[in-house]
Structures are given as C-alpha cells and as structure tokens.
Structure 1
Amino acid sequence: MEEATIVPELFSLTLPFHPPKNTLFASLRQKGNPFLSYIKQCKIEYKPVIPDFIIGEHVCALFISLRFHLRNPRYLQQRVDELLHSSSKSSHASFPYRSRYLLCLIDTNDVNANNALKKLNILGVKENISLLLAWSNEQMANHVEKLVALQQRGIDVIMGKGSEGAFAKATDCLTTIPSITKHDAHRLLHAFGTLSNIFDSSKDFYSLLPMMGKTKVDRLYAACHEPFLPPSSK
C-alpha cells in the first residue's frame, strides 16, 4: 500500500465529507490494497481522510492485515490514537463516527496470530471499535460492500427478505445449538462470513467474539466438529 500525507485538519473543512449513495471513501494510503480490486458493488473514491475508509456519514473503518500487525505492532495503536484525537478536536455533527470498525485480514499462520487477535479484540472493546475478520481479500471486499449497502437499504441487505433469506436460514441453523442466541449467531456470521468458515474454525477464534464464554464456545465447537451419530457397535 502506498503511503500518503494525511491532512489532520480535514474534518474542520466546511465541505461535506460523507460519501454519496453507494460510494466508499478510501484513504489515499489505501491505494494498492489488494482487497479493493474485488469490490464491484460500490464506487470507490480516494480522499485525504484520516480513517482508512468512510462508509457512511457516521461510519468509518481502519484496516490492518494480521501479517503486517505482527511485524509492526505499534502501527495500529497509532492509527487509532490519530482517529480518536481527530474526533475529539472536531466540533462538527458528522464527527465523531458513531460506528467504527477494524477490518482485519487474517493472512498468516504465524504461531503468535491467536494471541495477536485476542489483543486486537481487547483494543476494540477498549476503544469502542468493532472487530471484523476476513480470511481472504474476496471476503473482506464482501464485508465492506455489505457495510456500504447497509447505509442505504437497512439490515435486510444482510438478513435477506423474509424468513427465507440465507442469513435468516444460517441464523436458524446456529441457534439450534444450546446456548447460542440469535445475537450470537449474527455476530458469528458477521465475523466469519459463511457457515463453512464457522464450521472450519477453532475455539480460539470463537472466543474472540463478544459474549462468547467457555460454555458457548465448547458447545459451538462440539456441534461443528463432533460426529452426529455415535460409532456403531459391532
């Protein structure tokens, strides 16, 4: 990704800086980010903005790849501080952002990855930033497209129309697992993207999500990984 000069006082301008319909504002520093080439459902405009992405009038996001984070552990905290500092300095109604996301691309199998993700989750809770995980550039693009679409059309974009939407069906599937509530199911689907990713994941990743205690994690893992039928007796 190209480095770009950031304009600290951008948000003091009187010009509107929230994106128009079906448009994603991307920071100049994000030029060259591979996942952006997979975004087809919305327009991308590059702006000298402090967040990595402005998704709506009150919605922004920072981006980090886990591989980069492990090599540069101080970078993300600096970016969060920069964002929050700009927020506190602004007196305009469109800032601070009410919804803030940390888009994290899982692009490494490093032995320290799980511990790093736990710390990112703690950072998110501390700074009121929602952690959104993706395991590929295509999945990250899909997450962002849905966030942009949600600014225009509401939650039906993700949940589908009526009870027959794919999201609703996946939610019904997950809530058959003891202790897993509808809110748990929504968090799992938003974080992992598909049921397949949930089924293939580990307890360590389940436990990163809010409200996922040991009992829920154990039951979810058992439902996803243990055989449905007991071994036949001979």
Structure 2
Amino acid sequence: KMQQPTPQRLDRAPPSNPSNPSGAGPPKVVQPTPQTLPARGSGSAILVSPRQKGNPVLACLKSVPWEYSDIPADYGLGLTTCALFLSLKYHRLHPEYIYTRIRNLQGKYNLRVLLTLVDIPNHEDALRELSKTSLVNSVTVVLAWSAAEAARYLELYKSYEHAGHAGFAAIRGQQPTGYAERLVEFVTVPRTVNKADAVALVSSFGSLRNAVNASPEQVSVVGGWGEKKVRAWCRAVEEPFRVWKARA
C-alpha cells in the first residue's frame, strides 16, 4: 500500500495591496500629496505687444531679449510692471488714444510707466496735460528724446525687476546724508559752482540764508567767485520756483 505524504500548512502570502488586505475589488488608488510650486517669474525677456510692430524702439533693445506676447500693455517689464509707449506726434493727431489705454490698465499692474517720445518742437502743453493725467491715474511719465533712449529705459526697468530696494537705490544714486553734504549739493545746483566754491560761499557769509540774501556785489568778494559764477548763483536764488500759475 502506497502511503500519501501528510499535507503541510503553508504561510499565507502577504496581500499585494496593504490598503486592501481582503483582496476584494480593485486596489485603492493613492493620490500623491499636492506640492506648492514656486511662483512663476516673468522670464528674462521683455514682453512686447503686437501693437508695437514696426516701432524703432525694438531695434534698439540690445542688452535684454524681447518677445511678442498678448498683453494689455505695450511692454511687460515684470509681473507687476508695464509700460505704454506714446509718441507726442501721434498724440497730437489722436489725443484720446492714450487716455483709453491708461483706463484699460486700471488694476492690472502696480507700476504703470508712460514712456513718452518727445518728437515735436512745441511739447510743453502736451506734457502738461499728460502730467495731470498721470497724477490722477497713478502713472509714471518717463520722457525720451530718441528711440535709443526709450529702449534704454525699458532695459533698465527690466534689469532691475528682481533687484528690490537695492536696485532702485542704484538708479537713484547715492544720496547725501549729512547737513554739510546736503548744503554743498544745494549750492552746486548752478553748473558753474563746484564744491570748493560752495564751501567758500557759506564760510564767508556764515549761513546759507545770508548767502542767499547777499547781493551780487557781496558775493563777488568771495574768493574764486568770478562774474560768471556770481551771475549764475544770483539767477538761481532769485528766480521764482513757479514761473506760471497752474491752470485749472
């Protein structure tokens, strides 16, 4: 008689899906944990609206790349900065154009620059009206007298996009902090007056008030102050700050 071997119990294999040990039904899908993605930057290129095709400013953009994009402004200089371009010659023919463009940008950018190309001889009245509009609509007016200068402003704004306070401080330059430095800066506003002249002037009269109120004859006695410097200084301190009365 042939004897059969005694059956032996084998250990149960572990379930293939720990979340579904019974094996009943399809395995449960485990969703990945959402991760916060870093904020997307505006890139290193200036975004240009197709409206600007043919603008000579584009040919002058050399140090910063640019690309066309469907944006409400003319130039995208960052996530919160944009620029509108305006030729005064075009503005004289179509005065309502820029006001509509500014109105359409309300609430879309923190800094809105109106890059204005001064290409007409009699520009005072036009700039005065644009200045009033910029104050009402929180727009910064930047004047350029050539396409190359306008392009340089765009490159400058773009290059300082992530510079923060340090970048704007670099644009503004080093500001005088002490009283003596501010005093010298004020006195040297006329181009013919240098720092040594400023120190000599204030030292001779004892104070800035006395120097401002001094007559041309008294100023001419100061060492190093010739007729040209005296005339420039007296013209600077005697002319009124406001030449014309502001129009209503």
Query: Please, what TM-score do these two structures have when normalized by structure 1?
Result: 0.57
Q: Which residue of structure 1 aligns with residue 113 of structure 2?
A: 101
Q: Match for residue 19 of structure 1?
A: 42
Change in CA separation of 1:53 and 1:76 when aligned onto 2, cut-off 3 Å: same
Distance in 1, matches of 2:162 and 2:144, equals: 23
Which residue of the partner structure matches residue 58 of structure 1? 80
C-alpha separation between the residues in 2 aligned to 1:174 and 1:64?
38
Q: Does 1:79 align with 2:85?
A: no
Residue 39 of structure 1 is matched in structure 2 by 61
Cα RMSD (Å): 3.3
Output the CA distance in 2 between the equivalents of 1:36 and 1:145.
Answer: 11
- Structure 1 segments, 4+ long, off by >6 Å, are 172-175
Choose from 112, 118, 126 the match for 2:136. Answer: 126
Distance 1:18 1:121, change over 3 A: farther
1:81-130 CA deviation, whole Å, 9 max, x = no partner? 2222xx4xxxxxxxx211111110111103xx201101101110100011
Give the distance between the partners of 1:128 and 1:39, measured in 2 at CA: 26
What SS is found at the alignment partner of 1:140? helix
Match of 1:11 in 2: none
TM-score normalized with structure 2 length: 0.54
| SS in structure 2 at match of 1:151 | coil
Deviation at 1:228, TM superposition (A): 1.9
Higher relative contact order (CA 8 A, sep 6+): 1
Q: What's the % identity of the aligned pairs? A: 27
- Quick one: which of 157, 162, 167 aligns to 1:152? 162
Contact 1:51–1:62, Cα closer than 8 Å, also in 2: yes
Q: Contact (CA 8 Å) 1:146, 1:157: kept in 2 or not?
A: no
Asked which structure has the greater CA Rg, the reply is 2
Distance 1:129 1:36 in 2: 22
Q: Take 1:142 and 1:175, find their aligned partners in 2: how far apart are those partners?
A: 31
- Is the counterpart of residue 68 in structure 1 residue 77 in structure 2? no
Letter matched to residue 228 of structure 1: K
Distance change >3 Å, CA 149–CA 155, structure 1 → 2: farther
SS at 2:113 equivalent: strand
Task: Figure out how many residues of one structure are paired with residues of the other and give that number.
Answer: 154
Q: Any gaps of 5 or more consecutive residues in structure 1?
A: 1-15, 88-95, 181-195, 197-225
Structure 2: state its 5+ residue gaps.
1-38, 192-226, 233-248
Alpha-carbon offset, residue 63 of structure 1: 0.8
Instruction: Check the 8 A contact 1:27/1:51 in 2, yes or no.
Output: yes
Partner of 1:30: 52
1:228 aligns with 2:248: no
